[in-house]
């Protein structure tokens, strides 16, 4: 696993972390210097940590099915190793000292970066070469009778020009038909930018066929069509469900009177309505209005733009009470634009007041370019789909 620029999450403490900020293990060692990088609430934590002086990544499984998921993850890692595919070594498997969690300790690969970060940061020509490496890694998995059931770029590491496979939990043994193998290739291509799909689909298909020793039989247009449909389905799942719960990208907090989502990469933490109102009061109004107010201000030492959706009267409030809030629609559509690789200010925080039909603000990072700000404030109004 990568020991580089993984996002450190400002999440609530894991239930098995002790008062000293460590996780004691049954073998009389402990995980220390913990930094959470992924959280699946009530199921799994992934920590960057130190273990016996060694840099590691620890997967901490909690809940009723912790042993099942840990065993599945460890088995997938062993299958990758047995197939001769590069994957971080599993150093230790066992229980936490309090018996409340099952823990897997993996060696940290240093220096390394996940393939998603590399792809997004590289120039076009180098990004294409990276994708060729990923296609070859996927072909090697398939040739070994293994498939990734949760296939995305973050489940691959790039270190010393080598591709490492991650996430043993998503590895299964299966002999794929040609169609199934091509569908997996389409799923991998669905994770890249749409314009890159169009530009590179034919060459990446050829790369896969050559890696498998196959004759070219599938039209590139067919593969592209699959990838486009998969991309649309993935985006819909992301913007209707994932960003409205705690995940690696968002911290979600909900009470009987409010709900808020905070980006884990935006540098803000959970706030409250009075703090937002104060920030708006001292800021510079960009757009006054009856239905919404837009203010440039500072919040938690960051320059931000706050858009507050106002309720004009009780009839307006009643008409909005039975629909997803406009703040939720803005939060959803800002993430939709980002997911498709379109330039838009980063959504930082969404806050809903969930009774009496009162207003709900959304925060965006300030972009100095005025036209960019106009794009966000207007494009975010588009109501594409209802929240499920």
Q: Write down the mean pLDDT value for the chain.
A: 85
Whether 102 and 133 share a structural domain:
no
Find all residues with CB under 8 Å of 121, minimum gap 6, and list them: none
Whether 348 and 259 share a structural domain:
yes
CA atoms within a 13 Å half-sphere pointing along the CA-CB vector of 130: 26
Residue 98 domain flag: yes
Residue 216 domain flag: yes
Residue 69 domain flag: yes
Contact assessment for residue 78 and residue 11, using Cβ atoms and an 8 Å cutoff: no
Domain at 206, CATH number? 1.10.510
Whether 271 and 165 share a structural domain:
no
Last residue of a domain, one of 63, 87, 107: 107
pLDDT beneath 70, residues of the chain: 1-12, 312-322, 354-388
Whether 73 and 60 share a structural domain:
yes
Residue 86 domain flag: yes
Is pTM beyond 0.75 here? yes
Last residue of a domain, one of 107, 126, 145: 107
Provide the number of structural domains found in the chain: 3
Whether 344 and 304 share a structural domain:
yes
pLDDT per residue over 249-273, tens digit each? 888 888 877 888 899 888 888 888 8
Q: What is the pLDDT, as a whole number, of residue 4?
A: 47
Whether 211 and 256 share a structural domain:
no
Q: What is the pLDDT, as a whole number, of residue 258?
A: 82
Helix, strand or coil for residue 55? strand
| Helix (H) or strand (E) run with residue 124 in it | helix 124-143
Residue 175 domain flag: yes
Residue 225 domain flag: yes
Whether 167 and 52 share a structural domain:
no
Work out the burial of residue 263: count CB atoms within 10 Å of its CB; fewer than 13 is exposed, 13-18 middle, 19 or more buried.
buried
Q: What is the pLDDT, as a whole number, of residue 2?
A: 56
Whether 375 and 348 share a structural domain:
yes
Label the pairing between strands 250-254 and 284-287: unpaired
Residue 251 domain flag: yes
Whether 81 and 138 share a structural domain:
no
Where residue 125 falls (left for φ over 0; alpha for ψ -120 to 50; beta otherwise) is alpha
Residue 10 domain flag: no
Whether 249 and 372 share a structural domain:
yes
Whether 248 and 296 share a structural domain:
yes
Name the DSSP class of 216: -
Domain, as residue range, for 319: 244-379
Last residue of a domain, one of 107, 126, 153: 107
Q: What is the pLDDT, as a whole number, of residue 364?
A: 65
Interatomic CA distance for residues 125 and 387, integer angstroms: 38
């Amino acid at each position: 696993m990568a020991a580089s620029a993984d996002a450190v999450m400002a999440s609530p403490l894991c239930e098995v972390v002790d008062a000293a900020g460590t996780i004691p293990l049954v073998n009389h060692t402990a995980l220390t210097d913990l930094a959470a990088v992924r959280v699946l609430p009530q199921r799994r934590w992934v920590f960057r940590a130190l273990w016996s002086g060694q840099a590691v990544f620890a997967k901490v499984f909690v809940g009723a099915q912790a042993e099942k998921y840990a065993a599945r993850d460890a088995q997938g890692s062993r299958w990758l190793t047995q197939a001769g595919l590069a994957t971080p070594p599993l150093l230790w498997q066992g229980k936490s000292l309090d018996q409340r969690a099952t823990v897997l300790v993996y060696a940290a690969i240093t220096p390394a970066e996940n393939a998603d970060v590399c792809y997004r940061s590289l120039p076009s020509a180098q990004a294409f070469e990276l994708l060729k490496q990923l296609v070859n890694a996927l072909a090697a998995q398939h040739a070994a009778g293994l498939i990734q059931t949760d296939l995305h770029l973050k489940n691959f590491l790039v270190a010393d020009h080598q591709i490492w496979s991650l996430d043993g939990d998503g590895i299964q043994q299966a002999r794929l038909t040609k169609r199934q193998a091509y569908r997996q290739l389409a799923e991998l291509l669905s994770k890249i930018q749409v314009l890159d799909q169009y530009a590179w689909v034919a060459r990446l298909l050829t790369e896969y066929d050559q890696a498998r020793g196959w004759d070219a039989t599938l039209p590139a247009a067919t593969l592209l069509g699959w990838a486009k449909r998969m991309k649309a389905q993935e985006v819909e799942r992301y913007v209707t469900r994932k960003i409205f719960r705690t995940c690696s990208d968002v911290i979600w907090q909900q009470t009987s009177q409010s709900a808020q989502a905070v980006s884990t990469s935006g540098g803000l933490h959970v706030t409250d309505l009075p703090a937002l109102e104060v920030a708006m009061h001292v800021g510079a109004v960009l757009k006054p209005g009856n239905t919404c107010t837009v203010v440039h201000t500072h919040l938690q030492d960051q320059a931000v733009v706050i858009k507050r959706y106002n309720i004009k009267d009780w009839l307006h409030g009643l008409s909005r009470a039975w629909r997803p809030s406009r703040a939720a629609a803005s939060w959803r559509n800002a993430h939709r634009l980002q997911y498709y690789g379109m330039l838009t200010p980063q959504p930082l925080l969404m806050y809903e007041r969930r009774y009496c039909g009162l207003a709900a603000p959304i925060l965006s990072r300030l972009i100095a370019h005025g036209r960019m700000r106009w794009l966000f404030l207007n494009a975010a109004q588009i109501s594409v789909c209802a929240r499920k």
